[in-house]
A and B are shown apart, each in its own frame.
Chain A
Amino acid sequence: MMLSSKGFILVTTLVLMLILSCISLSMLVQTQLSQKLAGSATLSFQLRQQTQSKHGQELRLLQQSGAESSLFVIAPCPANYAAWSDLKVICEWHQVRTTERSSHHQHSVTSVLVRQSLPEGGWDGAL
């Protein structure tokens, strides 16, 4: 009788210890998760800012130095309020894409720009 009650206390203690360790472990995980959750927005914002500032720099570089963009197509010019009749005005459509990566996360910004060259000349054809 004595032996069986000792065993019961041991088992109960072990079960309680298990429950306690489960609770404490899950709390630990939860805290870590919430920390991660709290930090993810900041990190995402930081990445976004980083991509945007890099993209802005790339756009400035393209407009200032005429560096090559990733994509370049010669296509009809967009409509202008101050329109030009000159058919020789060539519009280059550039696509600039900036991508920043961190672990498991990727943010990219893509801009489409048109470069209109110096218009000189007239309208082809005679009356």
Chain B
Amino acid sequence: MGLYRLGLCLLLCSQCLFAETYWSYVPGVGSVQLTELSTEQRSLLATHLQLNAEQTRVWLNQLPDQLNAVSCSTLDVQNQAIPAYIDASYKVVSYAGVLKFYSEDNTKSTVWWLPWTALPALSQLKAQVTDLSLHMHQPLLITEQQLGSPGQLMIVAGSGIGNPNYFALQLNSLHSPELLWTLSSIDSGAEDLIGTMAQPLLMQEQRELAGLPALSLLLPNIAISNPTTLIYKVDLLTGNVQAKLGAEQTLPELSGVMALYDQNRDSVSESLLFSTKSGQIWQVQLEQNQFYGLQALADFSALKFNDIQFIRPLFAAVPVGGYGTDFHSRRSQWLVMLGALRQQHSVFVVLKINSTARVLSSDLVDRTLPDAPELAVLTSQDWQQIQQKGGWFSQLSGRLTHLPVVAGGVVYFSLLQQSLEQVCSIEQSSSALVALHLHHASAVYRRPILPLAQAAGPLKIKANAQGGFSLVEQHSQQVLVESLLEISPECAHCSKTIEQAGFPRWQLMGTYHNEEGAY
């Protein structure tokens, strides 16, 4: 009997130890665990959910099952690792603003953060997570190096269900998340905030005085109806609105992606790229809390995109000549790389920024790989067209799960092909790594599509023992490409192995002579 009691006690204790925890924030109270609410907090929750006491008790009891039902292993692939100074074994993934901190170590419990405003709308979460036409943006993690204070981690995310709001969490320990601020339409300066299903963007500005740079965030306003504000710039630590980009004209619904870049290459990022869900790309200048010079760069509405997954600029030497003797003509210019969703597939677009004319879908060359990628050929007409036109696009054979890596002029994508019947089942999905030539989207390796046994996480480039470089999957450190190739400007399909001995690489930019005096 005593043994049974002991066993039961151990079982209960282990349940307590490994039980999932559900955190939220009760306004006026602070961060609370939903399973350990006081009577007063429980009544506040009941009022918020518009339920009576008994229904609230049932709701709380059903919360673990409800969240388990929402858990989506195909979305978990998009996770981000929690820095080692907090807990290296944990990863975080956002389900439309509901944050799940989980570990593959079974002895560590899952921690959920549920935004207070999302609680009444939790039933909508499953529909959001399984909607293949939507991209589920992941939160922004701001580390101790960026914050300048050791041991600190901040997470900023936007909520996609319930009342739209952005929120910032301080996560010095995984088991005591603290809400720093929220930004919603009830806050001054953000009255027209309608949609927050986006990824915030961190902005660093040099202070006049020496010291750490001032940190602020750029938050897009995702709205179906015409918003009066497109983007908010807020202070990172307080969430106070510092500046707003007003809509000068009617724009379709914004996507949740943005990117800052240094257009004039003076080491200060002052240009902001953003896009609408349909693929209109815009650029605006940002300086000392002032937005100016809003300009449309491209309109890809005809390509019928559902959502945008990412936008990134890239400075490259783009070929402008033809074959033969003209081949070496190149122009240094900014490219915009866009990852878009068309139903369950990603489309990758490379656009040459043209400040004088708006690039249209018809200015892009379709470089989608054929079903048998080994048969893909690049004719001289194709090559000439790519050089003359505004860029190219390629429909990929799956959905992008991470930012592609561009190394030595080759773009590497990690793709996931989900089953349409079981969207959230990773077992029913297949993964692949695709490598394309940056300038004409043809295969660089003998096999352009490499099937993977399991879904790849973020891709990294690492030096290998053979004196070259490898492409590795960051989480498992699995080597995906043993020896990386680098494209060469000598011919359209030329490539060579990247060698460590070639670095540091010296490039002579110019030599000039000066003579003074005379004999």
Contact = CB atoms under 8 A, between A and B. Distances in A.
Interface of A: 36, 39-40, 43-44, 48, 59, 63, 75-86, 93, 104-123, 125-127
B206 interface: no
Given A82-B409, A86-B461, A122-B459, A127 B78 contact: yes
22 contacts: A40-B519, A75-B267, A76-B262, A78-B509, A83-B406, A85-B312, A85-B314, A105-B516, A105-B519, A108-B514, A109-B513, A111-B510, A112-B511, A113-B508, A118-B500, A118-B503, A122-B459, A122-B460, A123-B406, A126-B78, A126-B80, A127-B138
Contacts of A120: 460-463, 469
Given A116-B504, A118-B504, A122-B458, A81 B519 contact: no
Contacts of B405: 85-86, 122-123
Nearest to B346: A127
Interface stretch (B228-236, B296-304, B482-490): B482-490
Contacts of A36: 519
Nearest to A44: B519
B461 A121 contact: yes
Contacts of A40: 518-519
Given A84-B407, A126-B78, A111 B458 contact: no
- In terms of DSSP, what is the predominant structure of the interface of chain A? mixed
Nearest to A41: B519
A108 B199 CA distance: 53
Contacts of B409: 80-83
B513 A117 contact: no
Contact of B504 (A76, A117, A123): A117
Interface in B310-324: 310, 312, 314-317, 319
Nearest to A42: B519
A75 B469 CA distance: 25
A119 B458 CA distance: 16
Contacts of A117: 503-504
Given A79-B333, A114-B509, 18 more contacts: A40-B519, A79-B316, A82-B408, A82-B488, A84-B406, A86-B405, A86-B461, A105-B517, A106-B516, A107-B514, A109-B513, A117-B504, A120-B461, A120-B469, A122-B459, A123-B312, A126-B199, A126-B402
Of B509, B510, B512, most buried by chain A (CB within 10 Å of CB) is B509
A37 to B, nearest CB: 8
Given A83-B314, A107-B514, A111-B508, A76 B403 contact: no
Given A82-B486, A117-B503, A118-B500, A39 B519 contact: yes
Nearest to A124: B403
A127 B330 contact: no
B367 interface: no
Of A36, A93, A123, A126, most buried by chain B (CB within 10 Å of CB) is A126
- In terms of DSSP, what is the predominant structure of the interface of chain B? strand
Contacts of B267: 75-76
A109 B439 CA distance: 36
A120 B462 CA distance: 5
Contacts of A39: 519
B309 interface: yes
B406 A126 contact: no
A126 B136 CA distance: 11
A81 B458 contact: no
In the A-B complex, the 7 residue pairs with the closest CB atoms: A40-B519, A79-B332, A82-B409, A85-B406, A83-B316, A79-B317, A122-B460
A104 B428 CA distance: 82
Contacts of B78: 126-127
Nearest to B460: A122
Nearest to A79: B332
A77 B262 CA distance: 12
A127 B401 contact: yes
A125 B142 CA distance: 10
A81 B316 contact: yes
Contacts of B316: 79-81, 83
B80 A116 contact: no
Contacts of B138: 126-127
Contacts of B513: 48, 107-110
Nearest to A74: B267
A113 B402 contact: no
B222 interface: no
B314 to A, nearest CB: 6
A118 B408 CA distance: 12
Contacts of B439: 81
